[in-house]
């Protein structure tokens, strides 16, 4: 990959299950037909992939599947994170990560560490990891914010922390990071609805949820935005925006799994404590998906 790694579009892929609660590889086969070669990389077992309920042996089997099924163009990133630093390191050491390009590791949640504790957590992981690390700041889930000064410290002091997935709506924080980061440090948006705004001020790409369902449209929006063609990127953005807002209200990954079910790509099964959206919300999503397809078809007839 380029010196500035993981720029462009990554998709935080859902984990489909069957009626017995097992990972549904047939559904992944279907999804890869629309995603492979369209996105730059796939993020396996992030939040959208229901990482808290995935066992280690399942993770290993899935890594093997993706490394065998992805084309040479599409990279694989695997989520390995948590709020017990020792356990995160143990998982990194136990997994065979051959064919994996990087690890996505979320900010420690629930423990509420200080900024110094956050840095120490990533420092310990970086020293143990054979792969580059993408730090993940998502205060809406972790309650803790990786402040700009801490993100910059990670970028400057930890050689293999090569990128940051920033899922905050704080544009001032984002711009402080972008303004002061090292040249080879990648900053990615972690919120679909903010991706265009982030890229317009200098972010390098996005790790997307909606790209599970509309990979070509979101890939084009990302590419145009990174090329500086904001006016064209804006057309795709606004065609997708109502659906993005609806998905946000319905929760992730419940909303995107419903969309993928509507589109015939997966079955709407979860592992507790997550459950499907209500039938009322499902009907709302059916109409929103139909409207989104119509809008995108007007913009670009080659998408479908």
- Please report where in the chains the tokens 């970086």 appear, as a residue: 126
Burial string for 96-132 (b: 16+ CB within 10 Å, else e) reads: ebeebbbbbbbbbbeeebeeeebbebbbebbeebebb
Active site residue 136: yes
- Of residues 41, 122, 165, 269, which has the active-site annotation? 165
Q: Is 86 a catalytic residue?
A: no
* Under 8 Å between Cβ of 142 and 174: no
CA angle 173, 133, 109 (to 5 degrees): 60
Catalytic residue chosen out of the listed positions 122, 136, 236, 269: 136
Active site residues: 136, 165
């Amino acid at each position: 990959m380029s010196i500035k790694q993981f720029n462009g579009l990554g998709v935080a892929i859902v984990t489909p299950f069957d009626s017995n609660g097992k990972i549904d590889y047939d559904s992944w086969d279907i999804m890869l037909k629309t995603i492979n070669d369209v996105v730059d990389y796939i993020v396996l077992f992030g939040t959208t992939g229901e990482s808290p309920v995935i066992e280690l042996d399942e993770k290993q089997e899935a890594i093997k599947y993706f490394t065998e099924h992805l084309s040479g163009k599409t990279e694989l990133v695997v989520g390995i994170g948590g709020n017990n630093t020792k356990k995160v390191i143990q998982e990194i050491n136990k997994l065979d990560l051959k064919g994996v390009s990087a690890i996505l590791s979320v900010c420690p949640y629930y423990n509420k560490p200080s900024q110094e504790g956050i840095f120490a957590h990533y420092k310990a992981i970086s020293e143990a990891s054979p792969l580059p690390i993408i730090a993940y700041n998502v205060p809406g889930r972790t309650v803790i914010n990786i402040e700009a000064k801490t993100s910059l410290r990670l970028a400057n002091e930890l050689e293999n922390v090569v990128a940051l997935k920033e899922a905050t709506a704080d544009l001032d924080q984002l711009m402080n990071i972008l303004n002061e980061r090292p040249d080879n440090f990648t900053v990615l948006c972690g919120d679909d609805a903010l991706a265009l705004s982030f890229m317009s001020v200098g972010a390098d790409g996005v790790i997307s949820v909606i790209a599970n369902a509309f990979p070509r449209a979101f890939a084009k929006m990302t590419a145009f935005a990174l090329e500086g063609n904001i006016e064209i990127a804006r057309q795709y953005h606004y065609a997708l925006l109502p659906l993005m807002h609806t998905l946000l209200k319905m929760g992730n990954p419940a909303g995107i799994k419903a969309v993928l079910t509507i589109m015939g790509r997966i079955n709407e099964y979860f592992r507790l404590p997550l459950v499907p959206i209500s039938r009322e919300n499902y009907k709302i999503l059916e109409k929103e998906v139909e409207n989104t397809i119509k809008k995108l078809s007007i913009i670009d007839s080659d998408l479908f």
